[in-house]
């Protein structure tokens, strides 16, 4: 779908449908909604009086115009309570409206600027949020269906602005919103793919496509190179699979005058059976998405390749499958990570931290700072936070605050978890430097983060555990069933913010 900015009178546009709005509690429509109501001889006011339109958040009501105005349909979407309105609500209501109109067969749609001026929301912020909400809300993954959905797709959404003043800024906001949404959808598409269509080799191929399209540098290390670097964690996890591991390095040089670069590191387990410590069969199919962290890194690099901030960024993705076989690594094995630390493997299903250990070590070799790693790392984080927000763990409060704020801007909630030194005691090993689980003492998300901290060292670092937020079992606003694309827009916001410093 194309999103664009147009100027003019919305009631005169020759489109299938227009979207107007109403705050909860209002007894009469105002602004552009009031003008549309007047053109329809008070139909909207009448429905409000009857209690059929209440303005509750995401409430949608379609009115057929029967030739009274140029658009064939008017959709009134509820904005909820005015005091609670923000950019995230704009994304939600736009998605709700567009989904409803898709169901009604609309192909060309126009909308007023939801919320511009309410709660300090600028027109550019509103335009970007409308763009993100519409594109993300209408996303569908149907690649492997032999029979596609019968529903017609919306082809174009026009955001209508009366005043031509500032139109260039609005167009820039729509462009940015489109880039962010498309990056999130790239991550969704990669995570939604069946694992036989998203092997480590496929993941590397997708990264190469992104690099070529966005002007990034790329290097993909093969098994022999991975071995030469001493990446025992990645090799250990990979040895149970016939699919060769890959170590993907994407580089964006937005500030060639600087030798400094930040790093984003994503877990790329393209299928996780648990290995010898095999998972229960229930929902094991969802573990095709255990590479969501890696997908978010590739998608983020795609976005910044288009937005071109003045900052250097390197994306690292260790990619492999974790499978049981006669060659698989076993509970009780000891492996050595790239930085020389030895690891006692107590549970082969705690594999993500092993491949991230090597990736973080490699990031240290490149002197990347700060480093953000993203991983579907622990069921414990999902137990703690559900699917409402991701967990953040850090050795730098300054960078943690920046990440959390970037998430708030994106509508991707993040909650910081503790990193007390006491938790480090739980991962001490009797036979190696460290062990890969904290046992049955609880705090599994924290002990996993403390494990990773051993490889981040003193570099400012944030670990994002997205185990609870990378996937949904039903639609929720503009987040559709399946992969969410979290935290791509957070990462892009963070990078853009750091580039301004």
CATH number of the domain encompassing residue 277: 3.40.630.10
Tell me the residue ranges of DSSP E strands in 200-245. Answer: 217-221
pLDDT tens, position by position, 318-335: 999 999 999 999 999 999
Distances (CA, A) of 61 to 84, 109, 134, 499: 21, 15, 17, 43
pLDDT tens, position by position, 391-400: 999 999 999 9
Q: What's the chain's average pLDDT?
A: 96
| pLDDT value at residue 501 | 87
Distances (CA, A) of 147 to 107, 143, 207, 294, 397: 21, 10, 29, 30, 50
- Final residue belonging to a domain, choices 141, 156, 171: 156
Q: Does residue 186 sit in the same domain as residue 152?
A: no
Our CA dihedral for 387, 392, 393, 395, rounded to 10 degrees, sits at 180
User: What is the separation, in whole angstroms, between the first and last Cα of the chain?
Assistant: 34
Q: How many domains does the chain have?
A: 2
Residue 328's CB: how many other CB atoms inside 10 A? 19
Q: Is 214 tagged catalytic? A: no
Q: Is residue 174 part of a domain?
A: no
pLDDT tens, position by position, 273-295: 999 999 999 999 999 999 999 99
Q: Is the pLDDT of residue 163 over 90?
A: no
Q: What angle do CA 264, 266, 272 make, to 5 degrees?
A: 175
Q: Does residue 262 sit in the same domain as residue 366?
A: yes
Q: Does residue 227 sit in the same domain as residue 139?
A: no
Residue 347's CB: how many other CB atoms inside 10 A? 15
Q: Is residue 167 part of a domain?
A: no
Active-site position among 279, 341, 413, 481 = 279
Q: Does residue 145 sit in the same domain as residue 188?
A: no
Q: Is the pLDDT of residue 117 over 80?
A: no
| Confidence grade of residue 408 (pLDDT, cut at 50, 70, 90) | very high
Q: Is residue 162 part of a domain?
A: no
Active-site position among 353, 402, 479, 489 = 353
Which residues lie below 8 Å from residue 491, measured CB to CB, with a gap of 6+?
264, 296, 297, 300, 372, 374, 406
Q: Is the pLDDT of residue 151 over 70?
A: no
pLDDT tens, position by position, 222-231: 999 999 999 9
Q: Is residue 434 part of a domain?
A: yes
pLDDT tens, position by position, 474-499: 999 999 999 999 999 999 999 999 99
Q: Does residue 90 sit in the same domain as residue 124?
A: yes
CA 329, distance to chain mean position in Å, is 32
Q: Does residue 434 sit in the same domain as residue 478?
A: yes
Q: Does residue 145 sit in the same domain as residue 205?
A: no
| pLDDT value at residue 119 | 75
Q: Does residue 235 sit in the same domain as residue 136?
A: no
For tokens 């493997």, name the residue. Answer: 345
Tokens of 419: 């990193």
Average pLDDT over every residue of 67-90: 96
Q: Is residue 170 part of a domain?
A: no
pLDDT tens, position by position, 13-56: 999 999 999 999 999 999 999 999 999 999 999 999 999 999 99
Q: Does residue 140 sit in the same domain as residue 228?
A: no
CATH number of the domain encompassing residue 109: 3.40.220.10
Q: Is residue 146 part of a domain?
A: yes
| Confidence grade of residue 77 (pLDDT, cut at 50, 70, 90) | very high
- Final residue belonging to a domain, choices 156, 189, 221: 156
> Is the Cβ–Cβ distance between 96 and 134 less than 8 Å?
no
Q: Is 279 tagged catalytic? A: yes
**Assessment of whether the complete model's pTM goes beyond 0.95:** yes
Average pLDDT over every residue of 435-458: 96
Average pLDDT over every residue of 100-111: 97
- Final residue belonging to a domain, choices 156, 190, 221: 156
Q: Is residue 9 part of a domain?
A: yes
Q: Does residue 146 sit in the same domain as residue 188?
A: no
Kindly report which listed range (151-165, 205-219, 328-342) carries the lowest average pLDDT score: 151-165
Q: Is residue 161 part of a domain?
A: no
Burial string for 422-455 (b: 16+ CB within 10 Å, else e) reads ebbebbeeeebbbbbbbeeeebbbbbbbbbbbbb
Q: Does residue 75 sit in the same domain as residue 190?
A: no
Q: Does residue 128 sit in the same domain as residue 196?
A: no
| pLDDT value at residue 150 | 62
| pLDDT value at residue 146 | 86
> Is the Cβ–Cβ distance between 348 and 377 less than 8 Å?
no
Structural domain harbouring 78: 2-156
| Confidence grade of residue 116 (pLDDT, cut at 50, 70, 90) | confident
């Amino acid at each position: 779908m194309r999103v664009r900015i147009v100027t003019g009178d919305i009631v005169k546009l020759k489109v299938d449908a227009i979207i107007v709005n109403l705050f909860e509690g209002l007894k009469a429509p105002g602004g552009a909604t009031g003008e549309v109501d007047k053109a329809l001889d008070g139909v909207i006011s009448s429905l409000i009086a009857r209690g059929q339109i209440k303005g509750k958040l995401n409430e949608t009501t379609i009115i057929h115009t029967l030739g009274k105005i140029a658009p064939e349909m008017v959709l009134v979407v509820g904005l909820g309570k005015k005091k609670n309105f923000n950019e995230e609500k704009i994304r939600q209501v736009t998605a709700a409206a567009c989904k409803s109109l898709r169901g009604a067969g609309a192909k060309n749609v126009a909308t007023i600027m939801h919320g511009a001026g309410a709660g300090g929301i600028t027109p550019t912020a509103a335009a970007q949020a409308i763009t993100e909400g519409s594109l993300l809300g209408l996303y569908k993954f149907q690649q492997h269906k032999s029979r596609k959905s019968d529903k017609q797709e919306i082809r174009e959404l026009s955001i209508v602005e009366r005043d031509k003043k500032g139109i260039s800024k609005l167009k820039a906001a729509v462009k940015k919103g489109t880039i962010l949404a498309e990056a999130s959808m790239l991550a969704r598409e990669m995570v939604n793919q069946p694992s036989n269509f998203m092997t480590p080799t496929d993941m590397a191929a997708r990264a190469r496509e992104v690099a070529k399209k966005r002007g990034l540098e790329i290097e993909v290390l093969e098994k022999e190179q991975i071995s030469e670097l001493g990446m025992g964690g990645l090799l250990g996890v990979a040895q149970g699979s016939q699919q060769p591991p890959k170590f993907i390095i994407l580089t964006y040089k937005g500030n060639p005058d600087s030798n400094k670069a930040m790093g984003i590191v994503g877990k790329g387990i393209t299928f996780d059976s648990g290995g010898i410590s095999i998972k229960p069969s229930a929902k094991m199919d969802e573990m095709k998405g255990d590479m969501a962290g890696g997908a978010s890194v590739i998608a983020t690099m795609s976005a910044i390749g288009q937005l071109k901030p003045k900052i250097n960024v390197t994306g690292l993705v260790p990619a492999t499958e974790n499978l049981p076989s006669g060659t698989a690594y076993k509970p009780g094995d000891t492996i050595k990570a790239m930085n020389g630390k030895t690891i006692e493997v107590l549970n082969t299903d705690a594999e993500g931290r092993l491949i991230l250990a090597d990736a973080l070590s490699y990031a240290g070799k490149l002197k990347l700072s700060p480093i953000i790693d993203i991983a579907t790392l622990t069921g414990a984080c999902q137990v703690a936070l559900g699917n409402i927000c991701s967990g953040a763990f850090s050795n730098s409060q300054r960078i943690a605050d920046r990440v959390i704020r970037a998430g708030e801007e994106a509508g991707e909630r993040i909650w910081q978890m503790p990193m007390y030194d006491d938790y480090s005691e739980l991962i001490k090993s009797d036979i190696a430097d460290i062990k890969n689980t904290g046992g049955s003492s609880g705090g599994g998300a924290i002990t996993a983060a403390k494990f990773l901290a051993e490889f981040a060292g003193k570099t400012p670092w944030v670990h994002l555990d997205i185990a609870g937020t990378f996937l949904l079992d039903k639609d929720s606003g503009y987040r559709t069933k399946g992969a969410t694309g979290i935290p791509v827009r957070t990462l892009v916001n963070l990078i853009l913010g750091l580039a301004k410093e």
